[in-house]
Amino acid sequence: MQTLTPNTADIFQTKRRRITCNAQTSTLIPTKPISGFPVKQTNQEHLRNLENVLQTTNHQENVSSRQDKTTSTSTLLGGLNLARIWPQMKAAVDEMSPKNLKKLQRLLSKSEERSPKNKLGSKWRELHGSNNWVGLLDPLDENLRRELVRYGEFVQAAYHAFHSDPAGSPRHVALPDGSYKVTKSLYATSSIRLPKWIDDVAPDLKWMTKQTSWVGYVAVCDDPREIRRMGRREIVIALRGTATLLEWSENFRPNLVSMPEPKPEQSEPTRPKVECGFNSLYTTCSQYAPSLAETLIEEIKRLVELYQGEQLSISVTGHSLGAAIALLAADDIATRVNYAPPVSVFSFGGPRVGNREFADRLDSKGVKVLRVVNSQDLVTKVPGIFSDNNNNQGQNRNNNGKSQRGIMEMVERNNPWAYSHVGAELRVDMKMSPYLKPNADVACCHDLEAYLHLVDGFLASNCPFRTNAKRSLRKLLDEQRSNVKALYTGKALRQHRFVSDNGDVLPSPSSS
């Protein structure tokens, strides 16, 4: 037994040496001679070294993985461009908040909430342009806003009455204010005649080819309480926009024609001129009806005489074609009615009507004009070549400026297409509405209800849409759906039963 022990030890020692060789060729254990006895310690070092290597590898992989994920995430977020879309996302969330949904439900209710009416008293003259609305438009005066919306609703009543019986004469005009009563219906006659065969081709649309059509009305306030609130008795003349084929035909006769009255003086280089088609609708008579001019002047004379001694005012309001005729009517009243009360025009989406001399003539007669204009409305930019007195006021007072003004004046005097807008302007913008699409179509931009919606929400040119606007949105949602933002056409509106069965898209505001 004693002779076997050394041999066995030699054998084990040889094996350890082989392991040592193998260890020296390994990349995991450092080259270090192994003693005869501490085998256990060497194994522990081996395991510890192996563990350290594995931890280092895992750490590097984790760091690399985190870096890859970070790079991937940053690339994804960069592609999303959150800095750009976050405000839109936040706005969408805010719009669908319970508070705003409750407000939207109120705006969509059938019972429209109206702003309280203030006592105007002596303020009415300023609101009707005694100072050309200086300081009242930007920011917009609260009382003036209510007055503008009220006049727009008078025009809407004219649209509704006409569409109730386009081929005849409306028996009833549903006025927005019960304090007024209609005293006269107004008819406009076209000088254009269409061939008779057109009626045979489209008998159902015979009203479209009528030469004489109902175009508006005269109403007077007869409520003593309302008269006291307003500080005077008011006569309102409301005129609708284009509806018949012959009226459209008159719109496309944009050459300027001289006004018949008064006769020009020798010193006047040019005469006041107005668009041919507008003038035709205002002055033409037929075998069935007198001209709009004669009917209107006769009625205004009667009312002025009837209420002689009272404080009176005349407000002429119209939309589109009605806005153009309103200027002709105001000029005629100021010219032909003796002791005429103050005359003011409140127009919506009106085109240009005459030349600069016509604008000067209205101003010289004391007629005050306030035009509400949507920046996206093309109708307000036609017809003819635009010229305006304000364009010349900012020119330099040097020889260059004088020569330019001289050239412009010469062009205007000899150019049959030189038109000029009249009076003061309140400019609204479709893009300011949180409910309407900024790229709304042409019909929406010219729509009367869209105008009233924008006026009701207008604070100032540098301010957003007012949050406490009270005008109902039902007409916008019901009559022209495609121009209302899709944000208001989904689940929230369906819950309130304001979406029809035609789908989720809501069409644009009405033309009525």
For the domain spanning 120-428, the CATH number is: 3.40.50.1820
pLDDT of residue 488: 66
Task: Please identify every residue annotated as catalytic.
Answer: 320, 377, 446
Q: What type of residue sits at position 186?
A: L
Q: Is the pLDDT assigned to residue 22 strictly greater than 50?
A: no
Sign for the CA dihedral angle at 127, 157, 323, 306 comes to negative
Of 63-77, 130-144, 365-379, minimum mean pLDDT range: 63-77
Residues of the chain with CATH 3.40.50.1820: 120-428
Region 376-390: mean pLDDT is: 75
Q: Is the pLDDT assigned to residue 504 strictly greater than 90?
A: no
pLDDT of residue 425: 97
pLDDT digit string, tens, across residues 26-61: 444 444 444 444 445 566 676 666 666 555 555 555
Which residues fall within 8 angstroms of residue 244, CB to CB, at 6 or more apart? 166, 190, 207, 208, 209, 210, 213
**In the predicted model, what is the mean pLDDT of the chain?**
77
Region 64-68: mean pLDDT is: 55
Q: Is the pTM of this model over 0.75?
A: no
pLDDT of residue 260: 72
The pLDDT confidence band at residue 241, using thresholds 50, 70 and 90, is very high
C-alpha to C-alpha distance for 61 and 43, rounded to whole angstroms: 27
pLDDT of residue 99: 56
Region 288-308: mean pLDDT is: 96
Measure the CA angle with vertex 318, ends 229 and 241; round to 5°: 145
DSSP 294: H
Contact status, residue 139 vs residue 466, Cβ threshold 8 Å: no
Smallest CA-to-CA distance from 465 within 85, 146, 140 is with 140
The beta strands (E) that lie in 222-367 are given as: 233-239, 256-258, 273-275, 312-319, 343-348
Region 418-438: mean pLDDT is: 92
Angle of helix 448-457 relative to helix 142-164, nearest 10 degrees?
160
